[in-house]
Chains A and B, each alone.
Chain A
Amino acid sequence: MTKNKNLLSWGLVAAVLLFVAVSAFAPRTSTRLGRGATAIAADRDLTPDDIEAALKTYMPSGRHDDYIMFSSGGHAGQVFVIGLPSMRILKTIGVFTPEPWQGWGTGAQDTMDILADGAVDGIEITWGDTHHPALSETGGEYDGQWLFINDKANARVALIDLKDFETKQIVKNPIAINDHGGTKVTPDTEWVIEGGQYATPLGYEYAPISDYADSYRGMVTFWKFDRLAGRIDKSASFAMELPPYWQDLCDAGKKVSEGWVVCGSFNSEMATGGIEDGNPPFEAGASQRDMDYLHIINLDAAIRVARAGQTSDINGFPVISLERSIAENLLYLAPEPKSPHGADITPGGEYIVVSGKLDPHVTIYSWAKIQSSIRAGNHRTDSYGVPILPFDSVVEAQVEVGLGPLHTEFDNQGYAYTSLFLEPAVARWTLGGPYERLHPEKGWQLVQQIPVHYNVGHLVTAEGDTVSPDGKYLVSLNKWALDRFANVGPLLPQNFQLIDIENNGDAMKLLYDMPMGIGEPHYAQIIKADKLNPWEVYPEVGWNPTTGTIDEHAVMLGEERVERHGNTVEIFMTAIRSHFTPERIDIRKGDHVIWHITNVERAYDATHGFALPGYNINVSIEPGEALSFEFDATNDGVFTYYCTEFCSALHLEMMGYLQVRP
């Protein structure tokens, strides 16, 4: 009887909620709900909270998401574009890994060249471990123009153009073999920060690990971004040598702290491992001390030093030596509790939030206090001579948020959100100082912990690392999914959880679980969708997406031809619904083939693919795009090339024969 009563009251609540929500969301459509809706809720055992979550995330067909999230693809080496609040994947962007749908690195010459720029010391790398995407900013706000992302495994940085969502450049760090602390951008995207991680001899040299303290070094690289050219300008970039403390994430100062950069670190013990020799393993050795070092870098001064040429040359790249940094007052350290993982600067730049991974607190440093401590001078130094600011002189507050705090982002209500790996949960806590008036609670205190499923790494809030976060949504990037989804074998998807943070106080609510079965994404950034203004089709027929101009080998309708110069055959082809021109190509074994294709379509979504079997070629030619590829016709036979995008009713007929005579 009680059970029935319960069911009845739940049903009633659900019905009322549905009615109210639907009336609010769709005032112009019929607000009359069929009895079916409550029956479905009862049948599927949905609570009122479930129904509310469903109503907040459901997108009717054709409606677009309010926010777009750019997520790293982890060791998929790619970037995923995801709509919020629906949590639908909109696109995969090939970055460090070949991606056949986009024709990224599967033949098209320009894409092969960009990937080749990411070779490490002459060795081709066909994957990456993408970690931290960074949207370009103007005045500390996302401007929706560019996206940067680093490859932790090989210390590389890629640049994606948000006009066509394609990768335009990969730069290999000339001094580091791995990185972690990037990418982050300065408030006007003049510099892209790539922090290092595991210390090595710089310039991929050899030195025995017994020389660790003398020969191994950390680093941070500042890549100059030339917005006009739309490229990172390697020749105007530089790096700074740092002590071998295993620097972790960096962040760029903003507003009051603009012109400075901070980076955490987690092996100030300078542990060198060697469990096989009876030494403490890294996990223990690097966790001995109660404090590691927050690195505080005067970027503006470092730029002056680099521009004055006061740098050393390592592998052809200008590097400010540690001695020079100390002499020029470019670098300070501040103790930070224990093996921290994030150093995140508040929207106004007044505070740095550090999470001591092995300490249940977040530690908040005051920018004003750091500046007065620097001015006070007379500091003790570490073994390399880097000045250490006394902990008590720079700390503003410590907030006990829970176990395993990692990363912090912010909202528009004066709250900070910290991921708690061990709980696992997301903590909402209050900022003090100028943020105190934004929320009803006192500053520097824990407000709510919301459980997440499970083992959260990064979290991200809407525009949460800009000077004006939007609040509204938080995504918890969970490393373990365990029981959240159907078992798909021993390798499980990660779990992105969408959390509603719109209301203040302890009102955070879990809205949605999104399985991510493609890689292990690390960090993501969320931008208001209307800030993005990508092309629908390339601006003109014959457009080369890499150069951003008309391609010199663009083929216009009526100009299709095959030219032979000795053993080189050059094919000029157009693609339009539903045929390639030419459709028959006759060559000889041993010919070198240079193949140009232009998609002469102007219609939205009229993309053609081009696959050539046997020669490992698949390209994607979007409307207006011109591209080229080359190969040696080493095998004779008859090869059927065809369009790989279902472009029209006569798509299957969009094919041709490449005949290679013996």
Chain B
Amino acid sequence: MTPLLNRILGPRIPEEDFKKRPFRYLLPNLLFTLAAVSLIISVFFPFWRMDLKAPQYPRGLELIAYVDHIGGDVEELDLINHYIGMRPLQEAAKFEMSIAYYVMSVFALFLLAGTVIHTRWTAWLSLPAFLFPAAFILDMRWYMREFGMNLDPKAPLSSSVDPFVPTILGEGEVAQFTTLGYVDIGFWLALGSSVLIIFALWSHWAVWSPLVRKEEGKSN
């Protein structure tokens, strides 16, 4: 092995100690694996929803955001939105959605890397997955603001609805609609992954930092 790779991978498991205290070494691996699995599963679940209510929609309408697509009553919402000059919802976060699968797979692989990398690199590699839920919400909020604030001034109802920022969490109001935005299972899975990452890093730190320092002391 090259010295660089060795520096990144860090110390290997001391066999004697592993036989005595296997759980100590397996715990961070287990936590990283769970975090990766949780993140991957979240891809298949809705991250965020908005329930829209108006008198002429007694069953309500819903907008559902997944990491890779937008679901729910998109056609009908686009149809309503065209009156106020909002761009079609499918145009939002197109790039992000197109790469979501790959990016999240890479993030999950980074987490799994934590099971073989025993240095601070593990922390750096966990960071993207850890930040993912927050990044998702911020990205969505950015697009919502972008779409809500840039209404086509030539749209039929542009004079009666001013540009607005849709309320993404909690209750909001637009024309005859009341909206309720809330995060859903996918988001909770991703957030769960972040929490698992904290515990994983903590246990990882507890096991490996003494060994890393010992090795660093040796090489100095």
Contacts and interface: CB of A to CB of B under 8 A. Distances in A.
A653 interface: yes
A577 interface: yes
Contacts of A576: 79
Interface string A631-662: 00000000000000000111001000000000
Contacts of B79: 576-577, 601, 603
B83 interface: yes
Contact of B76 (A578, A602, A653): A602
A653 B156 contact: yes
Nearest to A602: B75
B156 A650 contact: yes
Interface of B: 59, 75-76, 79, 83, 156-157
A650 B76 contact: no
B75 A650 contact: no
A604 B83 CA distance: 19
Contacts of A578: 83, 156
Contacts of A604: 59
7 shortest interchain CB distances as A-B pairs = A603-B76, A602-B75, A650-B156, A577-B79, A576-B79, A602-B76, A650-B83
Nearest to A650: B156
Contacts, number: 17
A577 B82 CA distance: 9
Contacts of B76: 602-603
Nearest to A605: B56
Contacts of B83: 578, 648-650
Nearest to B56: A605
Determine the main DSSP class of A at the interface with B: loop
A562 to B, nearest CB: 23
Interface in A584-623: 601-604
17 contacts: A576-B79, A577-B79, A578-B83, A578-B156, A601-B79, A602-B75, A602-B76, A603-B75, A603-B76, A603-B79, A604-B59, A648-B83, A649-B83, A649-B157, A650-B83, A650-B156, A653-B156
Nearest to B58: A62
B75 to A, nearest CB: 5
A354 B10 CA distance: 100
A424 B33 CA distance: 83
Contacts of B59: 604
Nearest to B160: A649
A576 B75 CA distance: 11
Contacts of A648: 83
A404 B76 CA distance: 58
A646 to B, nearest CB: 12
Contacts of A602: 75-76
Interface in A370-411: none
Residue from the set A578, A603, A653 with the largest chain B CB neighbour count within 10 Å = A603
Query: Which of under 10, 10 to 19, 20 to 34, or 35 or more describes the interface residues of A?
Result: 10 to 19
Nearest to B80: A577
B91 to A, nearest CB: 15
Nearest to A576: B79
Interface string A92-133: 000000000000000000000000000000000000000000
A577 B76 CA distance: 10
A188 to B, nearest CB: 36
Contacts of B156: 578, 650, 653
A653 B155 CA distance: 13
B60 to A, nearest CB: 12
A454 B83 CA distance: 55
A650 B82 CA distance: 12
Contacts of A649: 83, 157
A576 B79 CA distance: 8
Give the one of B59, B76, B79, B83 with max A CB within 10 A. B79
A649 B59 CA distance: 20
A117 B213 CA distance: 93
B44 to A, nearest CB: 24
A604 B79 CA distance: 13
A603 B79 CA distance: 10
A601 B79 CA distance: 9
A606 B111 CA distance: 49
A653 B75 CA distance: 21
A601 B156 CA distance: 19
Interface in A486-502: none
A576 B83 CA distance: 12
Interface string A157-191: 00000000000000000000000000000000000
Nearest to A577: B79
Nearest to B74: A602
Contacts of A603: 75-76, 79
Nearest to B82: A577
Nearest to A648: B83
B100 to A, nearest CB: 26
B205 to A, nearest CB: 53
Given A648-B83, A650-B156, 4 more contacts: A601-B79, A603-B76, A604-B59, A649-B83
A602 B76 CA distance: 7
A313 B214 CA distance: 107
Interface string A554-589: 000000000000000000000011100000000000
A577 B56 CA distance: 15
A651 to B, nearest CB: 12
A343 B192 CA distance: 73
Contacts of A653: 156
Contacts of A601: 79
B180 to A, nearest CB: 20
A63 to B, nearest CB: 13
B37 to A, nearest CB: 36
Nearest to A601: B79
A653 B157 CA distance: 13
B85 to A, nearest CB: 13
A603 B83 CA distance: 16
A649 B156 CA distance: 10
Contacts of A577: 79
Contacts of B157: 649
A324 B197 CA distance: 90
B182 to A, nearest CB: 24
A649 B155 CA distance: 13
A653 B156 CA distance: 10
Interface in A276-319: none
A245 B83 CA distance: 67
A601 B76 CA distance: 8
A603 B75 CA distance: 9
A398 B157 CA distance: 74
A41 B113 CA distance: 81
A621 to B, nearest CB: 16
A648 B82 CA distance: 13
Nearest to A557: B75
A650 B157 CA distance: 9
B49 to A, nearest CB: 19
Nearest to B156: A650
A649 B157 CA distance: 10
A601 B59 CA distance: 17
A604 B75 CA distance: 12
A41 B47 CA distance: 56
A649 to B, nearest CB: 8
A604 B76 CA distance: 10
B12 to A, nearest CB: 59
A542 to B, nearest CB: 14
A148 to B, nearest CB: 33
A8 B157 CA distance: 59
A62 to B, nearest CB: 8
A648 B80 CA distance: 10
Contacts of B75: 602-603
